[in-house]
């Protein structure tokens, strides 16, 4: 009997995995890895190429990269209307065509700043359209219980590409950039051909009672606002760790920390996905911001151990906050998933922009006072206060009704 029960459990798990990771979804996850691998083989080196090879001033480079980032994030709000008009598969094909054309245009653009800037903007526009449509296609038609595993697997695929892209391209980026851009354009073209064979006709999910604008009438935390605040807090680490860590350790150690961070993210997020989905939204905020605050405090301690431990804690905070925000945004909206993910991209862009502006002033003030560690302690204090402010705002608006995501796999205590 015990053997039969074990065999039955194993069969059910295998069936669930096959239902969740269908052929098209498995292809999308593999494509997500390849797309991010190609993108991050090039984009992290863009400031070097624009400044050293094309001779643009650093001020101009900063403006160009800021505009490209704005298009990539804020442009996500266009993805929903485009997908609603032409469908998710065609939206992804259009996005990949834009990115393929952009990377191909970098080849003649290596001798022309105008062409190079135009190519970068094309790539950014393609990225704005692709990610919301990709995530929407991934979760289209799946039960709510499958969403955490699918979205966490998507995040892992993207982060694996982000981790491997820069070291893979390092030998070519300055010595043979033409060959690098040609290879990346070819990779995107091949992935685009694969997308052409994906099944079309993904439909909008069955709507639920909603407020104007497609948002479900549930009092409580706004996933859009929480995403803005989450990305704002997290991006202090992303923007300013290099300035702090490299002089105190080494560039090599900083690279090891980033690689370890990416590896932990890839492995841990799928393992924790269902537990994160089972948390209530307030509990997820407390755990997530608590981990980020502890990470900032560890970094303030300095040294190799403090920076490494801080990176690991921040990784756990990112896993909890970013996945839970996406799940809650889906659960609380009757809008098509592509529209929901586009709004989430806009929220991330606002948070990243605010973090860059505030962080620059804060870091400069800390250095002027002779203590860069004070910067990380100030950020730690913010991370402790932010969930308190968000939850107090929720309480002021009234006690919530049924919690978002209480269907199987999305609720819990």
**pLDDT, tens digit, for every residue of 348-375?**
888 888 887 788 888 888 888 888 899 9
In the predicted structure, residue 4 carries a pLDDT above the cut 60: no
* pLDDT on residue 125: 92
Residue 347 sits in a domain whose CATH number is 1.20.1250
Predicted pLDDT at 41: 84
pLDDT attached to residue 118: 93
Range of the domain at 372: 223-396
- pLDDT exceeds cutoff 80 at 16: no
Q: Calculate mean pLDDT across residues 197-204.
A: 66
- In whole angstroms, give the CA distance from residue 366 to residue 379: 11
- The rounded distance, in Å, linking the Cα atoms of 218 and 102 is 42
Q: Which residues contact 203 (CB under 8 A, 6 or more apart)?
A: 140, 141
pLDDT one-digit tens code per residue, 41-89: 887 778 778 887 888 886 788 778 878 878 888 888 888 899 888 999 9
Do 65 and 121 share a structural domain?
Answer: yes
**Do 264 and 122 belong together in one domain?**
no
* Domain identity same for 79 and 44: yes
* Domain tally, the chain: 2
What percent of the chain shows pLDDT beyond 70? 85
- Torsion (CA) 368, 373, 376, 379 in degrees, nearest 10: -50
Listed in sequence order, the residues at least 6 apart from 196 whose beta carbon sits closer than 8 Å to its beta carbon are: 93
Please indicate, yes or no, whether residues 250 and 380 belong to a single structural domain of this protein. yes
Which of 151, 180, 196 is the endpoint of a domain? 196
Are residues 49 and 187 located together in one domain of the fold? yes
By mean pLDDT, which of 187-196, 203-212, 358-367 is the weakest?
A: 203-212
Q: Are residues 175 and 322 in the same domain?
A: no
What pLDDT, on the 0 to 100 scale, is given for residue 321? Answer: 95
Q: Which of the two residues, 40 and 196, has the higher pLDDT score?
A: 196
Assess contact for 128 and 87: CB atoms under 8 A: no
Percent of all residues in the chain with a pLDDT value above 90, rounded to a whole number: 35
**How much is the pLDDT for 241?**
86
Average pLDDT score over residue span 141-167: 84
Structure confidence at residue 394 as a pLDDT band (50, 70, 90): low
Q: What's the pLDDT score for residue 47?
A: 75
Do residue 187 and residue 296 come from a single domain? no
Q: What is the pLDDT of residue 156?
A: 86
pLDDT at 283 over 60: yes
Q: What is the pLDDT of residue 218?
A: 52
Residues 88 and 125 in one domain: yes
Of residues 16 and 34, more confidence is placed in: 34
Whether residue 148 is contained in a domain is answered as no
Give CA–CA dist 237/317, Å, rounded: 12
Confidence of residue 182 (pLDDT cuts 50, 70, 90): very high
pTM assigned to the model: 0.75
Three-class secondary structure assignment of the chain: CHHHHHHHHHHHHHHHHHHHCCHHHHHHHHHHHHHHHHHHCCHHHHHHHHHHHCCCCHHHHHHHHHHHHHHHHHCHHHHHHHHHHHCHHHHHHHHHHHHHHHHHHHHHHCCCHHHHHHHHHHHHHHHHHHHHHHHHHHHCCCCHHHHHHHHHHHHHHHHHHHHHHHHHHHHHHCCCHHHHHHHHHHHHHHHHHHHHCCCCCCCCCCCCCCECCCECCCCCCCHHHHHHHHHHHHHHHHHHHHHHHHHHCCHHHHHHHHHHHHHHHHHHHHHHHHHHHHCCHHHHHHHHHHHHHHHHHHHHHCHHHHHHHHHHHHHHHHHHHHHHHHHHHHHCECCCHHHHHHHHHHHHHHHHHHHHHHHHHHHHHHHHCCCCHHHHHHHHHHHHHHHHHHHHHHHHCCCCCCCCCCCCCCCCC
Mean pLDDT taken over the chain: 82
What is the pLDDT, as a whole number, of residue 315? 94
Q: Band of the pLDDT at 395, cuts 50, 70, 90? A: low
Confirm if 320 and 287 have CB atoms less than 8 A apart.
yes
- Residues 273 and 184 placed together within one structural domain of the fold: no
- 314 and 354 inside one domain: yes
Does 136 lie in the same domain as 77?
yes
**pLDDT higher for 173 or 178?**
178
């Amino acid at each position: 009997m015990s053997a039969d029960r074990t065999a039955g459990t194993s069969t059910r798990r295998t069936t669930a995995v096959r239902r969740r990771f269908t052929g098209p979804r498995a292809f999308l996850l593999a494509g997500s890895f390849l797309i991010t691998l190609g993108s991050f083989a090039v984009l992290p080196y863009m400031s070097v190429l624009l400044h050293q090879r094309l001779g643009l001033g650093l001020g101009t480079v900063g403006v160009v990269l800021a505009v490209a980032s704005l298009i990539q994030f804020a442009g996500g709000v266009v993805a929903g209307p485009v997908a609603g008009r032409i469908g998710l598969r065609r939206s992804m094909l259009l996005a990949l065509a834009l990115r393929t054309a952009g990377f191909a245009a970098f080849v003649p653009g290596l001798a022309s700043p105008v062409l190079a800037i135009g190519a970068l903007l094309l790539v950014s526009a393609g990225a704005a359209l692709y990610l919301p449509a990709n995530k929407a296609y991934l979760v289209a038609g799946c039960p709510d219980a499958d969403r955490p595993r699918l979205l966490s697997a998507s995040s892992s695929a993207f982060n694996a590409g982000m981790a491997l892209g820069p070291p893979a391209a390092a030998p070519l980026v300055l010595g043979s950039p033409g060959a690098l851009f040609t290879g990346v354009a070819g990779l995107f073209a091949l992935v685009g051909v694969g997308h052409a064979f994906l099944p079309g006709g993904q439909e909008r999910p069955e709507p639920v009672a909603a407020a104007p604008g497609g948002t479900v009438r549930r009092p409580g935390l706004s996933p859009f606002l929480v995403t803005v605040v989450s990305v704002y807090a997290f991006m202090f680490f992303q923007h300013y760790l290099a300035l702090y860590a490299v002089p105190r350790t080494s560039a090599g150690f900083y690279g090891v920390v980033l690689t370890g961070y990416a590896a932990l993210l890839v492995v841990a997020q799928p393992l924790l996905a269902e537990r994160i989905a089972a948390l209530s939204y307030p509990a997820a905020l407390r755990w997530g911001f608590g981990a980020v605050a502890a990470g900032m405090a560890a970094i303030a301690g300095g040294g190799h151990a403090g920076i490494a431990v801080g990176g690991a804690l921040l990784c756990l905070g990112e896993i909890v906050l970013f996945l839970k925000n996406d799940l809650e945004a889906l659960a609380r909206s009757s809008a098509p998933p592509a529209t929901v993910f586009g709004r989430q991209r806009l929220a991330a862009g606002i948070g990243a922009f605010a973090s860059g502006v505030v962080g620059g002033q804060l870091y400069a003030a800390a250095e002027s006072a002779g203590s860069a560690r004070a910067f990380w302690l100030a950020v730690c204090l913010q991370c402790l206060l932010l969930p308190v402010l968000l939850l107090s705002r929720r309480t002021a608006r009234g006690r919530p009704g049924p919690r978002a995501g209480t269907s199987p796999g999305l609720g819990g205590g």
